[in-house]
Each structure stands twice: as C-alpha cells, then as structure tokens.
Amino acid sequence: MNVAVVGAGLIGQAWAIVFARGGCDVRLWDGDQQALDSALTLIGRQVAELENQQLLLDAASVMSRIQTSASLEHALSGAQYVQENLPERVALKQEIFSKLDTLSDPRAVLASSTSSIPASAFTEHLAGRHRCLVAHPVNPPYLIPVVELCGAPWTDESAVEKARSLHASVGQKPVIVHKELEGFVLNRLQGALLREAFRLVQGGCISAEDLDTTVKDGLGLRWAFMGPFETIDLNAPEGVQDYCNRYGDMYQSIAREQTSVDAWDAEIVADIEQQRRSLLPKAELLDRRLWRDARLMELLRLKNA
Amino acid sequence: MNVAVVGAGLIGQAWAIVFARGGCDVRLWDGDQQALDSALTLIGRQVAELENQQLLLDAASVMSRIQTSASLEHALSGAQYVQENLPERVALKQEIFSKLDTLSDPRAVLASSTSSIPASAFTEHLAGRHRCLVAHPVNPPYLIPVVELCGAPWTDESAVEKARSLHASVGQKPVIVHKELEGFVLNRLQGALLREAFRLVQGGCISAEDLDTTVKDGLGLRWAFMGPFETIDLNAPEGVQDYCNRYGDMYQSIAREQTSVDAWDAEIVADIEQQRRSLLPKAELLDRRLWRDARLMELLRLKNA
C-alpha cells in the first residue's frame, strides 16, 4: 500500500510513522522544504525511541519505507491513500483538497486529520468529493490508536470502508462517525465529562486534585480497556438493560443538575490553573508530558501483550 | 490500627482484605452467622489469588489479621474505625448506625459504604453524629483504590481527616467530597459521559461498539493514570488556562447540544442491550468479568511498579 502524507508537522510525522510501521510505503510532502528535511530527522528519533520501547520491531526497515517528496505530484504518484495535515483553516483545507483531487489517482481515498472542520466544508465543489473524508487522530497516533472516520453527506461508503480497512491493517482502531458533528465523538464525550468536572470544582464539592484522583484511581481504570457501555454491561448481573433498570433513575436525577451550558468563566478557569500550578509548576510541564508518553507506552505494551 | 467491618457481603469481604493487607487488625461481623462463616472462606480464596497476582505479599499474614466476631459488641471492641456494609435501605442504615454509635468507643470513626444514601439521612439524631460519614468504595476496592469520603453537614473535619489518613495508609486513594451530592463525584462524572454516549448512539452517530473503542483506545488511556484536568493541562503548551482559551468555545458550543435530561428510553436501552449481546452473549458475561478483573490487576501492577 502506498500512502501520501501531506504536511510534515507533528501530526504528519506521526502518521508517517504509523503507516510505515504498519508496512506501507510512505511519501511525505510539505510546502516548506526546510520543515520537510527536519521532519525526517525528528521521525528517525521517534522511531528509534519506539524501537527501544518495543513498540515497533525494526526501526531501520520502518525508516526505509519513508521518503520525502520534493513535489506534491511526486508524493501523490501511486498513492492509494492520502492523509492531509495542514493547519486548521478552512481556506487552506479547500485549497489543498482541490489540488489533491486534481493531482491524485482518482481511485485514491483523500482524508484530512482536521479535528474541527467537517469534510463538507472543504470538499463540496470537488469532482472527487465522494472519496473525501475526515480521519481524525488523537495525538500522537502511534501511541493512541483510535481514529475517527467521518465523511461528508456525499462521501461514498466505499471510501470510508477503504480508510477503515487501511487504518485497521496498520494497527489503528478506526471508528465510524455517521454524521458530521462538532467535536466528532471523542471530544464530545470529553466535553461532557469536563463540564461536570468544572461544575463540581466550581461548586466547592471537590478539589481539582481529588477530582483527577477519582478518575485515575477509579473511573478511568476500566475505561482504559473497556468502553463505558461494556463497563456498565458488566456492572449488573444481567447486563446493560439490567444496569439501566437499576440505576437509570439515579442518572436521570443527576442529569437534572447537569444542564448548565454557560462558558467556563474566567474565575473557575483561573482557580483550576492555580490548583494545577501548585501541583505542577509551569517549568515542569514538559517533563510531565514525557512522563505521560512513557506511561502511554507502558499501557500500550500491556494492551498489546 | 483496629478496624471493624460490619456486614460480610461482597463489599464487606473486600474491605476486610484491604484493611488487613494494609496492616490493620480486622474484626468482621454479620447478623447472619452462616454468611459470616462463608465470608471467611471467600476472603481466603481472594487473598490467595491476590498473592498469586503479586498484589499482596503474604496471604497467610493477611489472613492472620482477619477474624470474625460472633457479636457486634466483640467486633467493635477496641476498633478505632468502623466500615459498615449493610444493604442500601435507609431504615437499615439508621438502625445499624444507632447501634454503632452506642456500642463503639466514642472516639472511633464510623463510616458507611453506601453509594446512594447521604450520611445526613441516617445520622442526624445520633449523639455521635459528628464522627459519622460515608466512605464510598468502587467495587472491588482491593483493585480500584479510590474511596469517596463525604460527611453530613455536622460531621467533624477531624473525623473525615482520620478516615482519609487511614485509607491512605492502607494504600487506598481517598478523595474528599465537601457537599452531600447524589452520586457523589464518580457516578456524576460517569453519568455525564454516559448521557452523551447514549445520545450519540440514539442519534445514529456511532455504534455502541465504536463508542466503546473511542474510549478504550483513545480517551480512556490517559485517564487511567491522569485525571481530566491533568490531561488538558498537558494538552496545551502553557497549561489548563491556555487549553481553555483555545478550546473553551468549542466545548461551550458542543454543550448546547448536550442538555437533554430525558430518561434513557426503553428503545435505546433495548438497542444497546442488543448490540452488546451480539458482541458478548449473556452466557459469557461471567467470563468477561473475570477477564476485566485480570486486566485491572495488570493495570494495578503497572501503576504500582
């Protein structure tokens, strides 16, 4: 399988690693030649680290499958799948998808990594709009495998299916979002939980630190290897229907207190910022991100075992 | 430290294990002598399994610290902390707390495992109401360490602090809930996420299976070792304030579509039940629960390492 990765920033680099690790031949292109050169160096470092961490087998062979292209035409030549990673601006997406649609093999599937722009906003007027969709990763996709696939109303099911099949074949976990939704699914779920989290801290019910503990030493443990439906399915003797019969009234009653949609106000955001900084000074944010990635790698090894 | 565990069902058994594993001397009592006898056998089996799983060091010494008491008086004698685990009925809680308050050392802290009844509903008229609180575990507490501590308005801070200190000393992760809230904190967070999950499946946006994948291979990975606040704190260059500046508008916009508080209707519950049963037949629920516990043990070993 030949894959073109368009845009060589952090997300583009990560996609190149994912596809090459999965056995695809990858051509990476960026409008900025300097960015393209340094991307290959950064990819090499990350691939070596993943080999160290036993999250890929053979760094040299992965690197041998990644080449940079001096022109977009070269990158697209022979590609059956294109993953686009330009900045999050509609005009940029429109412009690049117009080029991709013109220059690529008409049978290729064209996917955007956008987290915030629906495919319908940048593919409507394209001859090949039926083969365009969003394939939204979580950063970095070589550590967090879910990818949300979401077409426009005119996207062919076969294009979504080709994308699904490719992502599954390289070890990602594709999910299909059937309607264009703000935030797709992952951020909508995160938003629902965050809103209640802000509400509880703002109401003086719990500290930010204890709220985090409630998730990381409680609620989040099962969610790391089961989703919320499987969790409740296993939490009542007869499954999810039984669970809803037992606890539906409680959750409905709680929901009546969870309806506010006000913006997170400056005061509560500043309060949580202050609580976080007393737990983790700003100067230590970077180290803590490295710690997070190390833990994600351990968790991935555990789940792969 | 001497701990009395009152009620020898699943939760009482699990608490006996937690406190004995943590070095406390535990006396276990139940009104039903037969239940009490079989509890000790079941505890022995579970303690052996935890030793096999390297989640406790010395099964024999743990078991040597657990004894059953033929009378409530004997169980309470010398106890500095009492953990009550009777069925979830207000009248039962009122009756047992009245006894506990009368029979225990007046300096002992009295805690209930209730998940749904606030301490104010069963302690108001007690002479020792200042020493009573809820200590709500997640089942089983020897695998899921968070415990929510929530007093009534009249509970002394020192009683909450004694409970916090004891739970922390035996390796649990106590959090303090400062107001009596339905569902405490954990179930309120779970409810907020579940509500959006039901809404998305009901709206035809995603299948139950793909929604679970979005969490277990995406959102839930970081939450297994960081809470939601730390997660967003690390997801913008300058921390949580920066994150809210960047993404607050998106979450507010999403929130406007997340306001329904209708009961989960029979149709969507039946639909999800059907989707779950096609993924996991009812006959396999028990095996899958054992799989879940094995994964929780692996995750706990990873986090303890």
Domain of B294, CATH number, reads: 1.10.1040.10
Chain B (116-135) residues lying within 8 Å, Cβ to Cβ, of chain A: 116
Record: contact B195-A273, CB cut-off 8 A: no
Question: Is A183 domain-assigned?
Answer: no
User: Which pLDDT does position B34 carry in this prediction?
Assistant: 94
The length of chain B is: 305
Question: Is A34 domain-assigned?
Answer: yes
**Cβ(A210)–Cβ(B150) under 8 Å?**
no
Q: Is B236 on the interface with A (CB under 8 A)?
A: no
Residue where the block lists tokens 């005119």: A154
Q: Which residues of A touch B117 (CB under 8 A)?
A: none
DSSP one-letter code for B219: I
A65-114 pLDDT tens trace = 999 999 999 999 999 999 999 999 999 999 999 999 999 999 999 999 99
Record: contact A255-B191, CB cut-off 8 A: yes
pLDDT reading at B190 higher than 90: yes
* Side chain identity at residue A65, one-letter code: R
pLDDT reading at A50 higher than 90: yes
Q: Which residues of A touch B233 (CB under 8 A)?
A: 276, 280, 285
- Cα diameter, chain B: 62
Question: Is A153 domain-assigned?
Answer: yes
Given A179, A189, A213, which is nearest B227 (Cβ)?
A213
| Spatial CB neighbours of B91, under 8 Å, sequence gap ≥ 6 | none
Phi then psi for residue A291, to 5 deg, are -60, -45
Question: Is B182 domain-assigned?
Answer: no
Record: contact B187-A223, CB cut-off 8 A: no
**Cβ(A222)–Cβ(B296) under 8 Å?**
yes
Question: Is A250 domain-assigned?
Answer: yes
> Which of B106, B114, B273 is CA-nearest to residue A243?
B273
Spacing of C-alpha B268 from chain mean position: 28
Q: Which residues of A touch B197 (CB under 8 A)?
A: 189, 228-229
Given A186, A259, A289, which is nearest B261 (Cβ)?
A259
Record: contact A251-B264, CB cut-off 8 A: yes
pLDDT reading at B253 higher than 90: yes
CA A18 – CA A41 distance, rounded (Å) = 16
Chain B (175-214) residues lying within 8 Å, Cβ to Cβ, of chain A: 175-179, 181-183, 185-197, 200, 203-208, 210-214
Question: Is A221 domain-assigned?
Answer: no
Residue of B nearest to A145 (CA): B217
| Residue of B229, B240, B296 to mutate, interface with A, max A Cβ within 10 Å | B229
Q: What torsion do the CA atoms of A104, A108, A113, A115 make, to the nearest 10 degrees?
A: 110
Q: Is B144 on the interface with A (CB under 8 A)?
A: yes
Q: Which residues of A touch B140 (CB under 8 A)?
A: none
- Reduce the DSSP state of residue A242 to 3 states and report it: helix
Q: Which residues of A touch B297 (CB under 8 A)?
A: none
Q: Is B298 on the interface with A (CB under 8 A)?
A: yes
Q: Judge if B103 and B169 occupy the same domain.
A: yes
Is the ipTM value over 0.90, yes or no?
yes
The domain that holds B149 is classified in CATH as 3.40.50.720
Q: Judge if B156 and B54 occupy the same domain.
A: yes
Spacing of C-alpha A232 from chain mean position: 25
CA quadruple B125, B128, B129, B132: dihedral positive or negative? negative
Q: Judge if A16 and A160 occupy the same domain.
A: yes
Q: Judge if A18 and A141 occupy the same domain.
A: yes
A201-249 pLDDT tens trace = 999 999 999 999 999 999 999 999 999 999 999 999 999 999 999 999 9
DSSP one-letter code for A135: E
Confidence of residue B261 (pLDDT cuts 50, 70, 90): confident
User: Which pLDDT does position A195 carry in this prediction?
Assistant: 96
Record: contact A227-B211, CB cut-off 8 A: yes
User: Which pLDDT does position B304 carry in this prediction?
Assistant: 87
Given B192, B298, B302, which is nearest A196 (Cβ)?
B192
Record: contact A191-B277, CB cut-off 8 A: no
Record: contact A194-B251, CB cut-off 8 A: yes
Q: Judge if B159 and B226 occupy the same domain.
A: no
CA A231 – CA B288 distance, rounded (Å) = 11
Record: contact B183-A258, CB cut-off 8 A: no
User: Which pLDDT does position A185 carry in this prediction?
Assistant: 97
Q: Which residues of A touch B221 (CB under 8 A)?
A: 144, 224, 296, 299-300
Domain range holding B172? 2-176
User: Which pLDDT does position A262 carry in this prediction?
Assistant: 84
Over range B155-183, report the average pLDDT: 97
Spacing of C-alpha B218 from chain mean position: 24
Q: Judge if B121 and B200 occupy the same domain.
A: no
Confidence of residue A261 (pLDDT cuts 50, 70, 90): confident
pLDDT reading at A260 higher than 90: no
User: Which pLDDT does position A156 carry in this prediction?
Assistant: 98
User: Which pLDDT does position A233 carry in this prediction?
Assistant: 96
User: Which pLDDT does position A305 carry in this prediction?
Assistant: 84
DSSP one-letter code for A211: H
Q: Judge if B72 and B210 occupy the same domain.
A: no
A131-187 pLDDT tens trace = 999 999 999 999 999 999 999 999 999 999 999 999 999 999 999 999 999 999 999
**Cβ(B223)–Cβ(B234) under 8 Å?**
no
CA B25 – CA B36 distance, rounded (Å) = 17
CA quadruple A48, A49, A52, A56: dihedral positive or negative? negative
User: Which pLDDT does position B260 carry in this prediction?
Assistant: 85
Q: Judge if A7 and A139 occupy the same domain.
A: yes
CA B263 – CA B282 distance, rounded (Å) = 25
Q: Structural domain tally of chain A? A: 3
Question: Is A182 domain-assigned?
Answer: no
Q: Judge if A141 and A199 occupy the same domain.
A: no
Q: Judge if A28 and A89 occupy the same domain.
A: yes
User: Which pLDDT does position B223 carry in this prediction?
Assistant: 97
User: Which pLDDT does position B36 carry in this prediction?
Assistant: 96
Q: Is B168 on the interface with A (CB under 8 A)?
A: no
Q: Judge if A164 and A300 occupy the same domain.
A: no
User: Which pLDDT does position B305 carry in this prediction?
Assistant: 84
Residue of B nearest to A228 (CA): B212
Given B176, B181, B259, which is nearest A210 (Cβ)?
B176
- Boundary of a domain, candidates A117, A144, A176: A176
> Which of B171, B180, B55, B188 is CA-nearest to residue B112?
B180
Question: Is B19 domain-assigned?
Answer: yes
Record: contact B255-A195, CB cut-off 8 A: yes
Query: How does the average pLDDT of chain B come out, rounded?
Result: 96
Given B182, B221, B262, which is nearest A299 (Cβ)?
B221
Tokens of B191: 């409810």
User: Which pLDDT does position B90 carry in this prediction?
Assistant: 97
Record: contact A299-B238, CB cut-off 8 A: no
pLDDT reading at B263 higher than 90: no
What percentage of chain A exceeds 70 in pLDDT? Answer: 100
Q: How many helices (H) and strands (E) does chain B have?
A: 14, 8
Query: How does the average pLDDT of chain A come out, rounded?
Result: 96
Q: Judge if B209 and B250 occupy the same domain.
A: yes
CA quadruple A11, A14, A15, A16: dihedral positive or negative? positive
- Boundary of a domain, candidates B151, B176, B201: B176
CA-based angle B279:B280:B284, to the nearest 5?
A: 165
Given B176, B226, B261, which is nearest A216 (Cβ)?
B226
User: Which pLDDT does position B262 carry in this prediction?
Assistant: 84
CA A269 – CA A156 distance, rounded (Å) = 42
Record: contact A228-B190, CB cut-off 8 A: yes
B128-167 pLDDT tens trace = 999 999 999 999 999 999 999 999 999 999 999 999 999 9
How many CB pairs lie under 8 A apart between chains A and B?
346
A4-22 pLDDT tens trace = 999 999 999 999 999 999 9
Q: Which residues of B touch A220 (CB under 8 A)?
A: 220, 223-225, 227
Record: contact A296-B222, CB cut-off 8 A: yes
Q: Is B95 on the interface with A (CB under 8 A)?
A: no
